[in-house]
Amino acid sequence: MQQLFDGIAPWGMCAYEKSLYLDRIDVAAAEVMVRHYPRRTSPLSVMPTMPLCGQFSALTDDDTAFGGSRAPGVVVNISGACPDPAGFAAEREWVRDFWTELRPFARAEQGYVNFMSDTGQEQVAQTYGAKYGRLRAVKATWDPANVFRHNANIPPGVS
């Protein structure tokens, strides 16, 4: 599963992505998807949409460090990828516009942290919810210098 997107995401690719959780894909959300997806300009831009159910939903929200609800639903990843830096601005705008129009159908200001680009601390904190403080304490113990910060970062907090 970790290598699923390797073919379209080689090292050095210009990429930008945003994600959100939906309880379901109803007709109105599907219409947004059908309208926006063809607007991408790079054939490497994708919209993987994955069901969240089964064992994923059998766990409680507090059972893992996962940021987001364990309620059944889907995660929609809008990923703009472009081999040519000159075309990157258009792909990034495609992702942002698509995400903005799909946002009213989402559960909250949360997204899957591995599908987030240029996130601010507020969105990361919202994604992790009540777990955020606990994760900051863990980070203070195991990475107090915040070496591992090149992601949807959780800064070290009080341990």
Greater confidence (114 vs 81) lies with 81
**In this predicted model, what pLDDT tens digit does every residue of 39-77 receive, in sequence order?**
999 998 999 999 999 998 898 888 888 777 888 999 999
pTM of the model: 0.83
What residues does 19 pair with on adjacent strands? 77
Question: 31: helix, coil or strand?
Answer: helix
Q: Taking Cα atoms as reference points, which of 62, 55, 50 lies closest to residue 25? A: 50
Instruction: State the Cα–Cα distance between residues 152 and 120, nearest whole angstrom.
Output: 8
Task: Answer whether residue 129 shows pLDDT above 90.
Answer: no
